Structure 1
């Protein structure tokens, strides 16, 4: 993941960067670069020892370079654990301002640029889903309604769609949920930037074809796009709730389209979830509670397990590191050729936070809080829309019925239905079965076979 992050974000100078709520990409990259340099030095030494091992393969002395290889792997792991993880990356010692800076001035400047992009309001995506960096889509709903239909005896008071956006944003912000952010964001496909958008959008997002898209556009420009739903760039009111110190992030994307000539309004909402990180990335929490002798033993054992693979891969890794500048130059030339050939995709295609996520909740309360965040925001959104339209004398009777359906998460209870706390059965002969996971993937047998899955629930 470290190498992919450095290659896809730091060294791909033409693509956009997709930030995730609660993640400091610049700090991640600083530590990643330091680890990469340390392991490149390790691989260079191991490459020499690998050649020596091959040369002494038929001699009893072959054990000497193998022992030295284990010693090199052990030294690198010891330095990583004792000098970096336990001194800089524990809960009590971590300080982003103390992250190591690369020696290259160009890299330092680029890291500052990446940090600035975290506060931007533009997401340029490369693939199907526009919400890169926000996790997997877990739900969505939409509806249309006639906003030209007045309540009996009243006349509809005209309104602009921007007024509705502002009202909903203010109502959600008043909820006071933990880690709540509410703001307008613009989403546009990286293939559409140069050739499938109007000149004003291209000038705002991609003023220079040989530079990455800008991370921020003016609020005035986003407000213009709210009123013009025909463009391929889509503004969304983006609501993110970052709970459990960034472990669980729920994001809601809202869009209102007012078709004034037909008196119709289209409303859509999409939900994305960033689940907790995988257990493999929690090693620091286990090491910090170990005695020094126990840590030393664990590092020695880990080095023993890694030595054979490290020796085999040392020479290829070293050659790859030496050829990396040439590879980047080739990549840059290929990107420029694609830009001039009208085939380059400026969108962000990789996000480390999404690749590091687990498919299991680590705590029952994480799942419960996720439901609470969704339901609280959902209720406030629907109330704000209905109240706003009522204030403009719109007949919202249909909307109130749809509100009940949406807030009940699509569960319809009709006829001879029976609902309990953990199941639902409807109709003659219907059978309710409890489902313990949101998405199919890990069964109860797998959870029972792996102790580390005990008490965790599929996302």
Structure 2
């Protein structure tokens, strides 16, 4: 009887208030467990920050698979006209100009932010990125942020993060931009990441039908007659409470040593992503919006340098090469692209599945 009532309640919950048609995250009740409530508040705080402390080798943790990129360097002391004089500028001036030009697209689903990426092995207690409680900080601001944005050789790397959400959040394309002035050269780097839709296994509850009528109740009752089904399931809640307590205790109380990695090694959204697109138009939209954003970036760069009487001939040539690289759309839902470098001495990122997000409302 207990199993039957549990399954009946479960069925009515996922076909009622938890169904796709009725569920709203804003109306979700708070957990009764005080530890879980505190944990949710901590997660929300971290989501609003501007620091990413990653674990392992790959820095763009949580943004999906890196699908390509490009980089190049140009001489910013070469005047546009013979005998002319170039105007000097700070790297944050170019960063702000490009960011504002991209934001001017005014697409629903487009966000642009400045974010710091640092390895969890390059932070330490009492430093810039670890708070007094021994936990990684979520946000850095003021003079500390300005110093990191202008520091070209620091292990903590600043990026302008351009993100496009499309298909009701099913797709998320992210472009990471970095600008560095090294003596007489301006170095520009871009990396692309994609979060694809959730795997079908996470949608199986959308197909569950509500139990109704005597035949439905009888079928559910027969399925509930299973002796000793998961006899130890009652102890799972004790394990969850233990894990919650461990997660909420002070980091400094549990770990010592300078080699501890504070970085995050897991992203639930990234883990749940499918290996390919689920709609043909997702593939087409990804390439279109990637090109539009990159076109806006290059136009902003050319305008910014023109205003300072810096020769942009090499930049325009590399823009053409990057924007017109060959792309092949295959029949299995993936996109294979040839990553390109922007000219002599430039570097191209590793290729893979190519894709992106489509902003809503287009």
Equivalent residue for 1:408?
324
Pair 1:352 & 2:274 matched: no
How far residue 321 of structure 1 moved from its aligned partner, in angstroms, is 4.2
Equivalent residue for 2:283?
367
Deviations 1:258-298 (A, max 9, x none): 11xx201111001110100111222343336x684599489
Equivalent residue for 2:31?
102
- TM-score (normalised: structure 1): 0.66
Equivalent residue for 1:148?
77
Pair 1:314 & 2:231 matched: yes
**Residue among 39, 42, 60 paired with 1:131:** 60
Q: Distance in 2 between matches of 1:362 and 1:206?
A: 40
RCO higher in structure (CA 8 A, sep ≥6): 2
How far residue 115 of structure 1 moved from its aligned partner, in angstroms, is 1.6
Q: Distance in 1 between matches of 2:222 and 2:65?
A: 34
Equivalent residue for 1:278?
199
Runs of 5+ consecutive residues of structure 2 not aligned to the other structure: 337-352, 356-362
Secondary structure of 1:186's partner?
Answer: strand
Q: Distance in 2 between matches of 1:141 and 1:133?
A: 21
RMSD, aligned CA: 3.3
Q: Distance in 1 between matches of 2:146 and 2:86?
A: 23
Give yes or no for contact 1:143–1:266 (8 Å, CA) kept in 2.
Answer: yes
Pair 1:248 & 2:171 matched: yes
Secondary structure of 2:284's partner?
Answer: helix
Q: Distance in 2 between matches of 1:179 and 1:188?
A: 26
Pair 1:341 & 2:265 matched: no
How far residue 146 of structure 1 moved from its aligned partner, in angstroms, is 0.9
Equivalent residue for 1:177?
107
**Residue among 322, 334, 358 paired with 1:438:** 334
Q: Distance in 2 between matches of 1:184 and 1:272?
A: 16
Pair 1:158 & 2:102 matched: no
Equivalent residue for 1:449?
none
Moved segments of 4+, more than 6 Å? 327-334
Give yes or no for contact 2:119–2:156 (8 Å, CA) kept in 1.
Answer: yes
Secondary structure of 1:184's partner?
Answer: strand
Matches within 5 A, 1:78-117: 78-83=8-13, 85-117=14-46
Q: Distance in 2 between matches of 1:358 and 1:263?
A: 44
**Residue among 236, 240, 261 paired with 2:159:** 236
Q: Distance in 1 between matches of 2:104 and 2:198?
A: 29
**Residue among 141, 166, 169 paired with 1:218:** 141
How far residue 401 of structure 1 moved from its aligned partner, in angstroms, is 0.8
How far residue 114 of structure 1 moved from its aligned partner, in angstroms, is 1.5
How far residue 255 of structure 1 moved from its aligned partner, in angstroms, is 0.3
Deviations 1:301-324 (A, max 9, x none): 9957x958x82x432x44454355
How far residue 221 of structure 1 moved from its aligned partner, in angstroms, is 2.8
Equivalent residue for 1:17?
none
Runs of 5+ consecutive residues of structure 1 not aligned to the other structure: 1-67, 412-421, 424-433, 441-456
Equivalent residue for 2:150?
227
Q: Distance in 2 between matches of 1:188 and 1:268?
A: 17
Indicate the structure (1 or 2) with the bigger Cα radius of gyration: 1
- TM-score (normalised: structure 2): 0.82
Give yes or no for contact 1:240–1:250 (8 Å, CA) kept in 2.
Answer: yes
Pair 1:189 & 2:119 matched: yes
Q: How many residues align?
A: 338
Structure with the bigger percentage of helix: 1
Pair 1:207 & 2:131 matched: yes
Secondary structure of 1:224's partner?
Answer: helix
Q: Distance in 2 between matches of 1:162 and 1:221?
A: 14
Secondary structure of 1:88's partner?
Answer: coil
Equivalent residue for 2:348?
none
**Residue among 206, 220, 227 paired with 1:300:** 220
Q: Distance in 1 between matches of 2:212 and 2:306?
A: 67
Name the stretch that deviates more: 129-138 or 218-227.
218-227
Q: Distance in 2 between matches of 1:439 and 1:178?
A: 24
Q: Distance in 2 between matches of 1:302 and 1:146?
A: 76
